[in-house]
Chains A and B, each alone.
Chain A
Amino acid sequence: MNESTILETTDLNLWYGQKHALIDISLQVPKNKVTALIGPSGCGKSTLLRCFNRMNDLIDSSRITGEILFNGNDIHDPRADVYAIREKIGMVFQKPNPFPKSIYENAAYGSRIHGVSDRKELDRIVEESLKEAALWDEVKDRLHEPALSLSGGQQQRLCIARSLAVGPEVILMDEPCSALDPIATAKIEDLIIRLAQDYTVVIVTHNMQQAARASNYTGFMYLGRLVEFDKTTKIFEDPGEELTENYITGRFG
């Protein structure tokens, strides 16, 4: 398993001010698989997700100890380039957050900031990433309309396309379907499964069916700790911990 691990945390602890939000997390995320993080609200799963691409840097009161390795490199190494890390580890948020620009400009944004200015190259990247996100057919005739004119599900797929366009290896998804209706959710789940062929996906979700359907591995978190991490089938069929079982059977949470 070590061979195909892409992200690895060792004894990760994180505080927001006085609040101890993550406690001794040790976890190995397998490459080119979908890993789901589940757990009740406030258990720290989103916080953990935000550690992987150092989005917690943006919160001034956060303090972190322990190690996070990305392809064997410590992402907190003082020599590490946080922007390059975020290029390689993309993120999709709970609520679709397309920029108030055109569809095209949203998809091209990442490439532009990383220095691509050639129009043809941009066109290619935009088309490819929109196709990958299964959005191309729906928007190819109106690329220059405002992204905000899209439906919620389309907006979310645009956000996925946007992060694919910069060529990541890992895509972090923070409850990407919680603001969407069932049909849009199904489309995104299909997409997630397809993406796992080329990318590693880590997804935080409240929806246990979603975790069961779309993921290969599942981690259950509770009160800042990683209670259990294993193959999704194992977690859902034969959880090792009583806490996990209680949660997935709906006895609390």
Chain B
Amino acid sequence: MAKGCDIRARCQSIGWPRDYGSTEVSRPAGGTSRQFVDRAVGKLLFCAALAAIVAVFFIIVFLLRDGYQIVLETGLWNFLTGMNWNPTGQNPSYGVFPLITGTLLVMALAMVIAVPLSIGSAVFIAEIASPGMKSIIKPAIELLAGIPSVVYGFFGLILLTDWIRVVFDQPSGSSWLAGSILLAIMAIPTITSVAEDAISSVPREFKEGSLALGATHWQTIRRVIVPGALSGISAAIILGMGRAIGETMAVLMVTGNAAIIPDPITNVFSPVRTLTGTLGIEMGEVAFGSTHYHALFGVAVVLLFITLAINSVARVIITRIQGTQGTARSAPSGRVVTAIRGFVPYRALTAAASRITHATSAPFGRLLPPRVSQRCAFLLISLSVAIVIAALGVILFEIVVNGAGAISWEFLTGSPRDLGRAGGIFPAIVGTFYLVGGALAVALPLGIATAIYLIEYTADTPLTRSIRAAVDLLNGTPSIVFGLFGFAFLVLFMGFGVSLIAGQITLGLMILPTIIRTTEEALRSIPGSLREGSYALGATKWQTIWRVVLPPALPGILTGAILSIGRAAGETAPIMFTAAIFSSRFLPSSLTEPVMALPYHLFVLTTTVPGAATQSYGTAFVLLMLVLTIYLAAILVRRRYSQATVM
């Protein structure tokens, strides 16, 4: 067998056997070196794909390991339904029911605010805006996604809560409403851009078919386009919910964090406390190994399960919607289905569409003449865009106006002095780059390999289903939970201590699902006919992937990577317990040393250092510019390549 390999390899290296007469097509069982590489790569990719499962497994094990004791101590039922969270009282009590309620309430109201605004914006961008307008508004809304959550929190703490207190004449502005508004602003870009994609991908023919029947543009949007994009829109909403439920830093700065259920339950001005907020607030101070410590890990487990539940419900809903529309997205079995999929969508569309529109029965359906109702609808839609853009404007304005003044050469290149009130933030800028670079080094190879394995190597098997489920779960895992895991596993169990490498791995795990998802999408968009063309020439699987599939998929993969850079650069919660320090004189010289990082620096400056408002704004400004630059790069890459690949 070894001999067979050798001979074959030599033949190939000598030159192309164009004129070899033999028609020998059977080879020794070991195969050629090409096949050996192919098989080895396949195994390697498989191992990478398993990594996602392993990561999820470790996260769950380590959370359970520290969390199950609270259940032993209080009983599962008491823990889940206890009405009182008071871990340091005379009689400590560990009831998470108010926290669960708080989490769900904040998320629900955030969705009530975000969904109409987002869908309005999506419809506006996809259907109403002129091309010039679209080219401004779309990136602007996407930029909202790039604003780090600690910057949102900063903004919320200083402006939003006060605004709520004054406008609604409440004694205090820290409230359920404040948390929901902030989360809504954070979820809007996600929902808008995914929903816009869905709306834009509804085939033109549907729209033309409807307009040709004399329907107004609005009637067409309402009865044909939006129903046709329904599954994409639902996916958008769920992604937005995921973002909202996992958010920590912004929420804990504005909700007041009182562990109560609003009384009455509709009192949006009541302070509430979320599961994530509880973790973010209490984790650092708690005595390790105490009941309180275990209770916090119990909270993390509950949080994980809620995320999981929401994901599963969402999945069922999307599958059902796709079922009514006759698209079999979730169960592709082999290339044939992929090929067929293109031809049979939306057969049941009209039926489903009319049913849905009747159910949702729009406010101005039959009451007003079509042209008037169109005008009303477009007005409302434009209004929602205006609100979103205004929100972006206010936040940017506040930070730029107050932060630009702090920028100086020393601020950008010096080390902090006097608790960050003087000096600069250079080590934090560099530390952020180190963290992000390391996270990419972890997540990029692993994520791309996993995606390739999922798309190119397997059909729908139980194994791929569990890999996908694991990726979904990772994707829905709140960043603070990654932080806890990094702390329990990397910092303590592995003995890395608070270090650069612990932060890099934690952030790497956090962005892994984003990279896998975007790479999967990019690979899926490569037509199967190209793969067949390559196979038909005798290429192995790996040759086909490497030479034919990956090159055109690269822009998509790059966009995903860049977006996750933005996310990693702006996150505070995962590095708070794993990698970040407040100050250091030197840059880290090894992976085992901790680093400064911009988001953490901003968090400490705003919450702990009195008299550092200018530097806070300055740091927020630099962080914002950094992340926005990265997002802008992503938007440009995408725009360039989307023009280039139009055939």
Binding site for B on A (CB under 8 A): 16, 53, 55, 58-61, 70-71, 73-75, 77-81, 83-88, 90-93, 95, 97-101, 109-116, 118, 121, 125, 148, 159, 162-163, 166-167, 169, 172
Contact indicator B537/A60 (Cβ below 8 Å):
no
27 A–B contact pairs at CB < 8 A? A16-B336, A55-B532, A58-B531, A58-B535, A60-B334, A61-B333, A70-B23, A70-B25, A77-B26, A81-B32, A86-B537, A86-B538, A88-B538, A90-B536, A90-B537, A91-B536, A93-B536, A97-B533, A98-B533, A101-B551, A109-B539, A111-B16, A116-B16, A121-B16, A125-B18, A162-B537, A166-B537
Nearest-Cβ distance from residue A46 to partner chain B, whole angstroms: 12
Contact indicator B536/A86 (Cβ below 8 Å):
yes
**Contact partner, A60, options B34, B459, B548, Cβ 8 Å:** B459
Binding site for A on B (CB under 8 A): 12-13, 15-20, 23-29, 31-32, 34-35, 333-336, 459, 527, 529-540, 543, 547-548, 551-552, 645, 647
CB-defined contacts of B645 to chain A, threshold 8 Å: 100
**Contact partner, B538, options A101, A113, A172, Cβ 8 Å:** A113
**Contact partner, B547, options A98, A109, A148, Cβ 8 Å:** A109
Contact indicator B23/A97 (Cβ below 8 Å):
no
Across the interface, name the chain A residue whose C-beta is closest to B529.
Answer: A97
A80 CA to B29 CA, complexed, in Å: 8
Assuming the contacts A60-B334, A75-B25, A81-B27, asked whether A110 and B537 have C-beta atoms less than 8 A apart, the reply is: yes
Name the prevailing secondary structure of the B interface residues.
Answer: loop
CB-defined contacts of B26 to chain A, threshold 8 Å: 73-74, 77, 79-81
**Contact partner, B536, options A55, A61, A100, A112, Cβ 8 Å:** A55
CB-defined contacts of B334 to chain A, threshold 8 Å: 58-61
Assuming the contacts A70-B23, A166-B537, A167-B17, asked whether A99 and B336 have C-beta atoms less than 8 A apart, the reply is: no
CB-defined contacts of A77 to chain B, threshold 8 Å: 26
A70 CA to B538 CA, complexed, in Å: 15
Contact indicator A60/B333 (Cβ below 8 Å):
yes
Contact indicator A58/B34 (Cβ below 8 Å):
no
Assuming the contacts A71-B23, A86-B536, A93-B529, asked whether A121 and B543 have C-beta atoms less than 8 A apart, the reply is: no
**Contact partner, B552, options A100, A109, A114, Cβ 8 Å:** A100
Assuming the contacts A60-B333, A61-B334, asked whether A115 and B13 have C-beta atoms less than 8 A apart, the reply is: yes
Across the interface, name the chain B residue whose C-beta is closest to A83.
Answer: B538
Contact indicator B532/A97 (Cβ below 8 Å):
yes
Contact indicator A79/B27 (Cβ below 8 Å):
yes
Nearest-Cβ distance from residue B461 to partner chain A, whole angstroms: 9
Contact indicator B538/A87 (Cβ below 8 Å):
yes
A87 CA to B31 CA, complexed, in Å: 15
A100 CA to B554 CA, complexed, in Å: 12
Contact indicator A163/B529 (Cβ below 8 Å):
no
Assuming the contacts A71-B23, A88-B23, A169-B23, asked whether A118 and B538 have C-beta atoms less than 8 A apart, the reply is: no
CB-defined contacts of A101 to chain B, threshold 8 Å: 551
Nearest-Cβ distance from residue A52 to partner chain B, whole angstroms: 11
A121 CA to B24 CA, complexed, in Å: 23
CB-defined contacts of A80 to chain B, threshold 8 Å: 25-27
Of the listed residues A16, A61, A95, the one surrounded by the most CB atoms of chain B closer than 10 A to its CB is A61
Assuming the contacts A80-B26, A88-B25, asked whether A115 and B543 have C-beta atoms less than 8 A apart, the reply is: no
Assuming the contacts A61-B334, A81-B35, asked whether A163 and B19 have C-beta atoms less than 8 A apart, the reply is: no
CB-defined contacts of A58 to chain B, threshold 8 Å: 334-335, 531-532, 535
Contact indicator B536/A163 (Cβ below 8 Å):
yes
**Contact partner, A95, options B16, B25, B529, B547, Cβ 8 Å:** B529
Assuming the contacts A16-B336, A61-B333, A95-B529, asked whether A163 and B23 have C-beta atoms less than 8 A apart, the reply is: no
Nearest-Cβ distance from residue B545 to partner chain A, whole angstroms: 11
Given A109-B547, A115-B12, 15 other A-B residues pairs in contact with their CB atoms under 8 A: A55-B532, A58-B535, A61-B336, A70-B25, A71-B23, A73-B24, A73-B26, A77-B26, A81-B26, A81-B31, A81-B32, A97-B527, A166-B538, A167-B17, A167-B18
CB-defined contacts of B32 to chain A, threshold 8 Å: 81, 83
Contact indicator B31/A115 (Cβ below 8 Å):
no
Contact indicator A84/B538 (Cβ below 8 Å):
yes
Contact indicator B333/A81 (Cβ below 8 Å):
no
**Contact partner, A83, options B17, B35, B459, B533, Cβ 8 Å:** B35
A131 CA to B494 CA, complexed, in Å: 64
A100 CA to B459 CA, complexed, in Å: 25
A84 CA to B35 CA, complexed, in Å: 11
A127 CA to B536 CA, complexed, in Å: 21
**Contact partner, A100, options B13, B18, B23, B551, Cβ 8 Å:** B551
Across the interface, name the chain B residue whose C-beta is closest to A106.
Answer: B533
Nearest-Cβ distance from residue B631 to partner chain A, whole angstroms: 27
Contact indicator A79/B29 (Cβ below 8 Å):
yes
Contact indicator B27/A86 (Cβ below 8 Å):
no
Assuming the contacts A90-B537, A93-B529, asked whether A113 and B547 have C-beta atoms less than 8 A apart, the reply is: yes
CB-defined contacts of A121 to chain B, threshold 8 Å: 15-16
CB-defined contacts of B17 to chain A, threshold 8 Å: 167
Contact indicator A99/B530 (Cβ below 8 Å):
yes
A113 CA to B18 CA, complexed, in Å: 14
Contact indicator B335/A97 (Cβ below 8 Å):
no
A97 CA to B530 CA, complexed, in Å: 6
A87 CA to B537 CA, complexed, in Å: 5
CB-defined contacts of A172 to chain B, threshold 8 Å: 536
CB-defined contacts of A78 to chain B, threshold 8 Å: 29
